[in-house]
Structure 1
Amino acid sequence: MKIKIYGIRDEERPIAEAWAKKHSVEISLTEQPLTKDTVEEAKGFDGVSNSQIFPLDKEVYPLLKLFGIKQIAQRSAGYDMYDLELASANNIIISNVPSYSPESIAEYTVMVAMTLVRQFEGIRQHVSEQNFAWVPSIRGRVLGDMTIAVIGVGRIGKIVAKIFKGFGCRVVGYEIDPDNRIPDIVDYRNSVEEAVKDADIVTLHMYPSDFNYHQFNAEMFAQFKKGAILMNMARGVLVDTADLLDALDSGQLSAAGIDTYEAEGPYVPKNCQGKAIEDQLFKRLLDHEKVIYTPHTAFYTDEAVKNLVEGGLNAAKEVIESGTTSNRVN
Structure 2
Amino acid sequence: MKRQRGHEAVMVRANCDCYEQNLLKMKEYGVKYLLTRTVGYNHIDLKKAHELGFEMAYVSGYSPNAVSELAVSMGNGLLRNLFYSANHQQNHNFKIDDFMFAKEIRNSTIGIIGTGRIGYPAAKAWHGMGAKVLGYDIYESDQAKSILTYCDLKTLLKESDLISLHCPYIKEENYHLVDKNFF
TM-score, scaled to structure 2: 0.71
**Structure 2 residue aligned with 1:202:** 163
2:79 and 2:162 mapped to 1: Cα distance? Answer: 9
Q: Using the alignment, how far apart are the partners of 1:41 and 1:121 within structure 2?
A: 38
Compute the displacement of 1:150 (Å): 0.3
Q: Counterpart amino acid of 1:56?
A: D
Q: 1 CA distance for matches of 2:148 and 2:81?
A: 27
Distance across 1 between alignment mates of 2:72 and 2:91: 27
Conserved? CA contact 2:79–2:162, under 8 Å: no
- Pick the aligned partner of 2:116 from 123, 138, 154: 154
Where in structure 2 are there 5+ consecutive unaligned residues? 1-6, 12-17
* 1:144-199 Cα deviation digits (max 9, x unpaired): 1101110001110011000000000111101112357511011111x321222211
Cα deviation, 1:101-151, whole Å, max 9, x if unaligned, reads: 112221111111221222222222332344333321211220111011100
Distance 2:120 2:66 in 1: 13
Contact (CA 8 Å) 2:112, 2:166: kept in 1 or not? Answer: yes
Match of 2:84 among 100, 108, 122: 122
Q: 1:57 to 1:129 in 2, by over 3 A?
A: closer
1:309 aligned partner: none
Q: Distance in 2 between matches of 1:193 and 1:74?
A: 38
In structure 2, distance between residues paired with 1:157 and 1:218? 23
Per-residue deviation, residues 249-305 of structure 1 (Å, max 9, x unmatched): xxxxxxxxxxxxxxxxxxxxxxxxxxxxxxxxxxxxxxxxxxxxxxxxxxxxxxxxx
Relative contact order higher in (CA < 8 Å, ≥ 6 apart): 1
CA distance in 2, matches of 1:132, 1:141: 21
Q: What is the alpha-carbon distance in structure 2 between the residues aligned to residue 121 and residue 41 of structure 1?
A: 38
Matches within 5 A, 1:180-259: 181-189=143-151, 191-209=152-170, 210-221=172-183
Q: Of 104, 107, 112, which aligns to 2:74?
A: 112
**Ranges in structure 1 where 5+ consecutive residues have no aligned partner:** 1-28, 43-47, 65-71, 77-96, 222-330
Tell me which amino acid in the other structure corresponds to 2:9: E
User: Could you say if the C-alpha distance between residues 31 and 119 of structure 1 is closer, same or farther in structure 2, counting changes exceeding 3 Å?
Assistant: same
Q: What's the RMSD between the two structures over aligned residues?
A: 3.1
Question: Retained in 2: the 8 A contact 1:153–1:181?
Answer: no
Secondary structure of residue in 1 paired with 2:72: helix
Is 2:9 aligned against 1:31?
yes
Larger radius of gyration: 1
Aligned partner of 2:45 among 33, 46, 56: 56
What's the offset of the Cα at 1:202?
0.9
Distance 1:180 1:30 in 2: 48
Distance 1:74 1:187 in 2: 38
Q: C-alpha separation between the residues in 2 aligned to 1:103 and 1:111?
A: 12
Does the residue aligned with 2:146 lie in a helix, a strand or coil?
A: coil
1:259 alignment counterpart: none
User: How high is the sequence identity, in percent, across the aligned residues?
Assistant: 24
The answer to whether the 8 A contact 2:114-2:165 is kept is yes
Which letter does structure 2 place at the counterpart of 1:196? L
Aligned residues: 158
Measure the CA separation in 1 of the matches of 2:146 and 2:174: 27
